[in-house]
Amino acid sequence: MTTKAYDLIVIGAGPGGYVAAIRAAQLGMSVACIDANADLGGTCLRVGCIPSKVMLESSERYHETRTGLAEHGVIVSDVTLDLDAMHRRRETVVKTLAGGVAMLFKQNKVTRIEGWGRLEGPNRVVVKTAEGEQTLQTQRVLIATGSVPAAIPSVPVNHDRLCTSDDALSFPAVPDHLVVIGAGYIGLEMGSVWARLGSHVTVLEALENILPGMDLELAKAAQKLFERQGMKFQLGARVQQASQSGERCQVQCETGQPIDCDRVLLAVGRVANTDKIGLESVGLTADRRGELPVNERFETPAAGVYAIGDCIRGPKLAHKASHEAVACVEQMAGGQGHVNYDAIPGVCYTHPELAMVGRTEEQLQQDGVEYRKAKFPFQASGRARSLGDTSGMVKVLADAQTDRILGVHILGPRAGDLIAEAVAAIEFGASAEDLAHVCHAHPTLAESLGEAAMGIAGHAIHMANAKKS
């Protein structure tokens, strides 16, 4: 057993952990980052955000080649799918980016330790590695262990044909019929991948609408578009049992007939991965979702122990974790790190994409906030017309008294990129008028955001029935 000392030990090398380690090192701290996986980057890079977007992009290109190029005058015949090549590309992208994180660790002199880290009393971390255990001393510990797929008793996941999103990235063949349990971001994204590649996809959702927490108007519009793409939805469908027999699966909801399928994907959210990391040794107790309590400085009740990302309350998003990571270590170093939780965007990378920041209409109504809204359809966008992708809209919500932007919701092409301007607007307290006065290049999709902002005052130019003044 060896003992080493650091200013900061980070447990977890995902988008929260590795960003925290690098920023702390930049600020002059001696830092060690512990992760049990050979590849750095955490769930996000290895089996989450990045590989899923690779599969979404590749599957969309395949689908467009088969069904969407003819209107552009591009005639392609005998299009075939090489799923193995698609998987190889996914693996290459992941390996390249994981190697990039390792290179950044070296450049910033972050000590990388491969093994399972656990707290062992104040200021001590024990790491179980392939070579044995080592004990580390530290002034501070940052818990950034991320999250794991949530489980439900009625679906006994076996990582064969009863799967989680981790497994759904690498199916060896396109399922004939895939049942997805959960209509959130993960379920819809992975369902979209396999639907484009040829699967019959049935989505079961216990609630009465898809994409819980997203603007209801846009969620309902998105569902209609997904249905046109061939995905089937059963809402208010609580799964009573799922089972596997040989190469077939069966799913039974509380009502209706059993559904026979090839594979079942359980995608009902994620829970914090804080089990078995020695919380009890410092007097910490996680809640039922594994989340830890922290103050505005990301300090837990245990002295010298901090937590960020999926390990604390809030949406389980990689960029939230990274943002909190920087704020946390800058405050450790005496700086003024800050996270504005009203300006954390969310994106669902289906086609079309959905993106949001700020509050929804439903939240404003529930809180009794007076607001004005305006929408601009992509059908009126010259750029969307040239892309041949006119589904969806931009919706802007603004305070009825101050005109300050309260929320922006986008369903349409490249919504995940467009939302960045809205995030900046909310971060800096912009009004709808401020956003309307921004000069947007023409022709771009971003003009639609400007038009929607102009619509708050009834002055949208490229939309019929706009007010005159």
List active site positions.
442
Q: Give CA angle at 193 (190, 196), nearest 5°.
A: 145
d(CA 109, CA 30): 8
Q: Which of 298, 270, 282, 86 is nearest to 171 (CA)?
A: 86
Which residues touch 281 (CB under 8 Å, ≥6 apart)? 118, 119, 120, 121
Query: In angstroms, how far is CA 353 from the centroid of its own chain?
Result: 12
Under 8 Å between Cβ of 117 and 10:
no
* Number of other residues whose CB lies within 10 A of the CB of residue 312: 23
* Bridging pattern class, strands 263-266 and 177-181: parallel
| Residue 205: both structure tokens together | 């959702």
Q: How far is CA 150 from CA 12, 184, 271, 354, in A?
A: 19, 13, 5, 23
Which residues touch 284 (CB under 8 Å, ≥6 apart)? 292, 300, 301, 302, 305
| Residue 245: both structure tokens together | 């027999």
d(CA 319, CA 345): 9
Under 8 Å between Cβ of 371 and 397:
yes
Which residues touch 351 (CB under 8 Å, ≥6 apart)? 56, 60, 192, 229
DSSP-derived letter for residue 213 is T
d(CA 143, CA 311): 7
123: alpha, beta or left? (left if phi > 0; alpha if psi -120 to 50): left
Rounded to 5 degrees, what are φ and ψ at 254?
-60, -30
